[in-house]
Structure 1
Amino acid sequence: MSSIPHLQRSRIEKAITDAAGSEQDFDQAAAALDAVKIAVTVDDAQLMSAAGQSAVLTILNTAIKCFGSAELICTGDAALRTPVLFGKTLVQAARTIGAEVATEVSPWATHVVAVGAGGPPDPFVRCWWDGWLAGLRPAWEDAAVGDSCNPLSGVFAGALAVREVFANAVGRRLSFNRPTTVNLWSPWSSEEEDAPLNLSLPSKLWLVGLGHLGQGFLWSLALLPVADCHVLLQDDQTVGEENVATGLVTLFADVENSNRKTRVAARWLEAAGWTTSIIERRNYGDLKLTTNDPPIILTSIDEPRARVEIAKAGHEYLIDAGVGHGAFDFEIAQIRIIPNGVDAASLWAQPEQAKDVETLLKRRAYSELARKFDNCGTFSLAEASVAVPFVGAAVGALTITQLLRLTALRTTPQIMQVELAAADAGVAGILNPLPAFGLGGSEFQLREQGSR
């Protein structure tokens, strides 16, 4: 499979080649992505805000992984509000990610994403937020952003912006012309709920599955203004070429060095001041828990049966995130919050529908690959899931917000669904009872006194 030249972005390109009625091959899909040149404009206020910095980093990182390039347009620089692996300032981090930095939008930019005021008068889309509210505004609506203290709102808005650029690039949306607002605190409800700015995380967490979605969890956790937490990281896989494009914190060097996904995750969190420990084997719910183990486990794995068994293992709560695997449902997310004792099996469809690999292999994209490379790796590529980094970022922000709801002793849904194509139309099932006891241990504030 390593001989296939599109392996690095293959799981992104599959969103194009595997779409209903598509006749595009992998060369054409790559060309469509390469043609996109995103420019991100940011004003001085958002250059320094938690939401603004998180949005810029999310846009640049996901854009470069999807399209191969991006540029940051700003007239200054600012220290990052939370330390990340990529650098100490926003401009330094942007350059480490691989972005160009300039003071004016280049003439070859195809899509301008505005973060805050300023920039060209007609960007493709504007990021918008106000506390826990996050979303997008069309070019003609230049309403100022609101409370910019929440990094998760910046992550979500930034991911949605790249999603809209992607949809435009692959011909699924001609333009963005409808304001979108999502209440991250309760995406399933249009009613306003008083969301706290004084929050806490458990002093210990357990993360299982450190690929596409798992790295979305890591991305959002590291951008929160808290560092005195410990995370147990569990995964049994080594980084592959295709993981660089889909994983928010995976680097090309990780492939060259055959790094394990647990080590990649540990590097990211430890740079943000967290402590970690690792388990490099699969989790089938067969690990005997002790009183010292984290009370909450977050999972993002492909096997429904394994998730059900983990939910039975005795953790106080399991929080699971999953997305569709195909070109039609890769940006439909389901998040489950399952208290100990709830029948987890009832929350997943059984049996899961098998993927029709044989039908995919008959498509032009795969027949061309089979012809060029004598069938080498073609079946594995057809079998692989579609995975796009902006989905991981958006779902990560939603999932970590539900973790914060839990530690704030609020009700949480046993299952919720959000489709990024219509992110403001989230739905939820039965709400869990309020937690019977506190689960937080590391307290933090999103807003500094006197700031906005």
Structure 2
Amino acid sequence: MNAFTSADTMHRLAKRAMDNGSARSREEAEALLRGYRIAIALDDTAAADRHHQAAVLSAVALGRRVFLGGVTVAGNLDVPLVTTLPFGRTLAEAVVALGGTRGDAPAGVPVLRVGNGPGDRMPGFCVRLAFAGWRGGIVPNDAEGIAGDAGETMALTPMLAAALGVNEAFLHLSGEMPSAGRRCVGLSLWNLADPDWLDARAPDPALRYLPTRLWLIGLGHLGQAFLFALGLLPYERPSDLHLILQDDDIVTPSTESTSILTDAAMIGKKKTRTIAAWAERRGFATTITERLFDKDTRRQQHEPAIALCGLDNAAGRRQLDLSGFEFVAEAGLGRGHADFRSMLIHTLPGEVPAAKLWESVDAADSAIDAAAYRKLLDEGSLDRCGVTLLAGKAVGAPFVGATAATIVIAEVLRLLHGAPVNRLVELNLVNPDHRRTAPQTNDFSGLNPGFVPVPEGS
């Protein structure tokens, strides 16, 4: 029996309202999220398409962790599940398994539309998920989508579009951005420096190769988003992908609020074992290691040369280019109520050693003086130590990790295709257009980490 602390059970997005002062208690902060709900409207003409199904399921999996009032999915869901995700036999089964509810969109609720073209102008919040080629994002429902011929849809772009749609709906409901829902927001995963993801002047390259050996470090918020994204890739034989899954932690109640693969049945169990079980349902081969990633971790010659890192501590990151990996893609997310939508993505080895990148560790800003924490102290719900522990936990939202995951996996895919990769990507989901990228100067052309071809027609 696990004795979870208050910090272990706190919803990481409800914590935002405690920290910024918009909620005067934990109960009030959690009630705010229970008052939020959204609808997903799936066009009947798109219901049987695997990419549109992936967009719906990504939006449900992310949305039910954010909008605790519920996620309603409208449209024809009684179709075979043709996406690669292992959540049921039909789209309806998968929606329910992920926490969604079938039904018509309730009046006045923000709508994410999944369809093939512009729709009617809506009186409230209604955005359409748009994806083609390596491009994904959202546009107002009545706006045109991606112009030109972007080419075949790359499997990660529906997840990217869903994550940006859920972020936009939360910006709207929380009142943080009056323009939310009336703007176009998106990225090109092939060329993050491209300022106009909506203008496909030429087709993006077709996805031709998929990785066969990866080491995932950390299986929480980011690590599970990496795996969900890998689950969308069109492996002809999923067992071709061998994953080493590393974490030493257990699943806590708060894990579910940020981590896209976690459900209540996993609480109290080792992250490695629950996540390996999901990966094996997808058909992937797995090996687990239940120890901290630290200075004593060394990759052996037969183990994956590429690591995906989702650690939330600088001590582990300082070892990333010292453990024998030939290529590392890692993401760090903002921790506070003001910067939790920010992300900083690196590929290693780079110009600056990892030990230098994370040389100094700034103490996290403490929100302990916010009214909600003072109330916990005053009423005796927690002692000073407990309040300090709770206040020090990060604010987090699953749509941030999901966006970062598509960028991180895209770096690996571009590497396999012989394209340039980024040394650094920095952006904030409040305004992703204002992003910063820097190219890698290292030559990875001699790296052969293992790959398989994408089957024709995928």
Is the contact between residue 202 and residue 441 of structure 1 (CA under 8 Å) also seen in structure 2? yes
**Alignment-mate amino acid for residue 98 of structure 2:** I
Q: Distance in 1 between matches of 2:441 and 2:369?
A: 45
Is the contact between residue 200 and residue 441 of structure 1 (CA under 8 Å) also seen in structure 2? no
Q: 1:105 to 1:368 in 2, by over 3 A?
A: same
Aligned to 1:284: 294
Q: Which of residues 117, 124, 132 in structure 1 aligns to 2:134?
A: 132
- Cα shift at 1:36: 1.6
Q: Which of residues 247, 255, 258 in structure 1 aligns to 2:259?
A: 247
**Alignment-mate amino acid for residue 79 of structure 2:** A
Q: 1:9 to 1:139 in 2, by over 3 A?
A: farther
Q: Distance in 1 between matches of 2:227 and 2:379?
A: 38
Q: 1:316 to 1:127 in 2, by over 3 A?
A: same
Higher relative contact order (CA 8 A, sep 6+): 1
**Alignment-mate amino acid for residue 371 of structure 2:** R
- Give the alignment's Cα RMSD to 1 decimal: 2.5
- Cα shift at 1:372: 4.0
Q: 1:177 to 1:150 in 2, by over 3 A?
A: same
Q: Distance in 2 between matches of 1:48 and 1:170?
A: 33
Q: 1:231 to 1:296 in 2, by over 3 A?
A: same
- Within 5 Å, which residues of 2 pair with 1:46-85? 46-68=46-68, 69-85=70-86
Q: Distance in 2 between matches of 1:415 and 1:421?
A: 19
- Cα shift at 1:114: 0.6
Give unmatched runs, 5+ long, in structure 2.
none
**Alignment-mate amino acid for residue 38 of structure 2:** I
Mean Cα displacement is larger for which, 163-172 or 367-376?
367-376
Q: Distance in 1 between matches of 2:434 and 2:208?
A: 26
Q: TM-score, normalised by structure 1?
A: 0.90
- Within 5 Å, which residues of 2 pair with 1:8-407? 8-19=9-20, 22=22, 24-68=24-68, 69-102=70-103, 104-107=104-107, 110-117=109-116, 121-122=121-122, 123-143=125-145, 149-174=153-178, 175-190=180-195, 195-226=204-235, 227=238, 228-255=240-267, 258-339=268-349, 343-348=353-358, 350-357=359-366, 360-376=367-383, 377-407=386-416
Q: Which structure is higher in helix share?
A: 1
Q: 1:297 to 1:76 in 2, by over 3 A?
A: closer
- Cα shift at 1:424: 2.7
State the identity as a percent.
29
Q: Distance in 2 between matches of 1:138 and 1:288?
A: 49
Q: 1:312 to 1:447 in 2, by over 3 A?
A: same
Q: 1:190 to 1:25 in 2, by over 3 A?
A: same
**Alignment-mate amino acid for residue 27 of structure 2:** D
Q: Distance in 2 between matches of 1:77 and 1:439?
A: 43
**Alignment-mate amino acid for residue 303 of structure 1:** N
- Cα shift at 1:121: 4.5
Give unmatched runs, 5+ long, in structure 1.
none
Q: TM-score, normalised by structure 2?
A: 0.89
Aligned residues: 440
Q: Distance in 2 between matches of 1:89 and 1:183?
A: 30
Is the contact between residue 38 and residue 71 of structure 1 (CA under 8 Å) also seen in structure 2? yes
